[in-house]
């Protein structure tokens, strides 16, 4: 009986995590064929890329856990990047957006960006909570609205001439040259989000709403208020993502972080966040985002054309959601 049970449990685990297993096996194969795959530079880049995408995925995760979604995540992060870049341009830069504005402290710029993006998230949450607009439609509309506003604001002009302390913050390293500042920030965000999800009313209410919204309301949870908080925090995390991404890239444009909301949803789903609500963990999200980033690198080392990588990523997203729905139906 014990052996049968173990075999059944292993088969179940493999079927539920087939994407992670396949990408891991592909990574092992590539590492045996190309020694650069496990080089310090490659791992360092992997961690830095995972860090910024993990932060945006943490924001999206709360929306998914409450049976919602946020298709505006990438565009809000792009707006945050543009706003950060504009406010962090050097005073002597010839094409400065605001020529006569004094240089603002970096922390002030960060707070401005987080406030703007948090306000956008609060609007998303309010529309969903009070107007009862489905999250898919509400955030799709916000996605287009924010993109249009960013185009009008920036004039679709690329933003450069960033201050060195800003770009250095994102490209610097702590101690050894393996952990970047971005990775440290992402670890900090992960710890805070884990605490929120597991040790506070915020997390308990979020999981309760995702599990059964009507039951949560009957139990005395202010569902509308909780949803606004969840989407507002998501907006703040998108703002932080854009702020870091602009510094990391040394510049930005209206197309910065384009499509990142889909990668965030994919990372969350691969990591065990259910689109049916009520399920998801921060460590799982980290694993999902990391696996999705590893997939990109594996495809690059295998010599797959960039056009085909989008096809592969799309297939992974479809399979991840299909497996999640399969688990949900099996439980029913």
How far CA 100 is from CA of 92, 96, 104, 111, in Å, comes to 10, 9, 12, 21
Mean pLDDT of 170-174: 82
- The chain-wide mean pLDDT, for the chain, equals 92
Residues 6+ apart with CB under 8 A from 95: 160, 161
Task: Please indicate whether residue 33 or residue 107 has the higher confidence score (pLDDT).
Answer: 107
Q: What is the per-residue pLDDT across 6-25, written as a single tens digit (0 to 9) for each?
A: 777 777 777 777 888 888 99
Cβ proximity of 231 and 57 under 8 Å: no
pLDDT band for position 330 (cuts 50, 70, 90): low
Distance of CA 9 to the CA centre of its chain: 31
Residues forming a β-bridge with 180: 173
Mean pLDDT of 171-176: 76
DSSP 168-229: HHHH-BSSSTTSBHHHHHHHHHHHHHHHHHHHSHHHHHHHHHHH-HHHHHHTT--HHHHHHH
Q: What is the per-residue pLDDT across 226-259, written as a single tens digit (0 to 9) for each?
A: 999 999 999 999 999 999 999 999 999 999 999 9
Q: What is the per-residue pLDDT across 65-108, written as a single tens digit (0 to 9) for each?
A: 999 999 999 999 999 999 999 999 999 999 999 999 999 999 99
Mean pLDDT of 16-35: 88
pLDDT band for position 183 (cuts 50, 70, 90): very high
Distance of CA 215 to the CA centre of its chain: 29
The number of helices, as runs of H, and strands, as runs of E, in the chain is 14, 0
- Which range of 8-12, 31-35, 147-151, 273-277 scores highest in mean pLDDT? It is 147-151
Res 2 pLDDT > 80: no
pLDDT at res. 323 = 81
Q: What are phi and psi of 178, to 5 degrees?
A: -100, -45
pLDDT at res. 168 = 92
């Amino acid at each position: 009986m014990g052996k049968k049970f173990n075999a059944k449990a292993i088969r179940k685990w493999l079927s539920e995590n087939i994407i992670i297993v396949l990408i891991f096996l592909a990574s092992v194969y590539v590492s045996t064929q190309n020694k650069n795959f496990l080089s310090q530079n490659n791992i360092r880049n992997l961690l830095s890329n995972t860090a910024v995408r993990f932060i945006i995925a943490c924001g999206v995760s709360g929306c998914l856990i409450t049976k919602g979604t946020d298709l505006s995540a990438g565009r809000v992060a792009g707006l945050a990047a543009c706003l950060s870049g504009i406010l962090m341009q050097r005073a002597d830069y010839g094409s400065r957006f605001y020529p006569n504005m004094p240089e603002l402290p970096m922390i002030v710029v960060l707070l401005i960006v987080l406030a703007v993006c948090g306000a956008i998230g609060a609007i998303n949450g309010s529309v969903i909570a009070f107007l009862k607009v489905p999250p898919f439609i509400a955030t799709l509309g916000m996605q287009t609205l924010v993109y249009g506003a960013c185009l009008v604001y920036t004039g679709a002009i690329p933003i450069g001439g960033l201050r060195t302390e800003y770009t250095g913050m994102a490209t610097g390293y702590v101690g050894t040259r393996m952990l970047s500042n971005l990775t440290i920030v992402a670890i900090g965000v992960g710890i805070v989000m884990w605490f929120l999800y597991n040790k506070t009313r915020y997390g308990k209410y979020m999981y309760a709403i995702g599990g059964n919204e009507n039951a949560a309301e009957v139990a005395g949870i202010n569902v509308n208020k909780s949803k606004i908080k969840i989407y507002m925090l998501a907006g703040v995390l998108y703002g932080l993502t854009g702020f870091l991404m602009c510094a990391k890239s040394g510049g930005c444009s209206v197309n910065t972080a384009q499509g990142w909301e889909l990668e965030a949803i994919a990372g969350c789903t691969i990591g065990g966040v259910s689109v049916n609500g009520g399920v998801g963990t921060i460590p799982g999200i980290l694993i999902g985002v990391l696996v999705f980033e590893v997939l990109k690198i594996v495809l690059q080392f295998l010599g797959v054309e960039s056009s085909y990588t989008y096809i592969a990523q799309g297939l992974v997203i479809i399979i991840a959601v299909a497996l999640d729905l399969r688990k949900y139906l099996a439980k029913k």
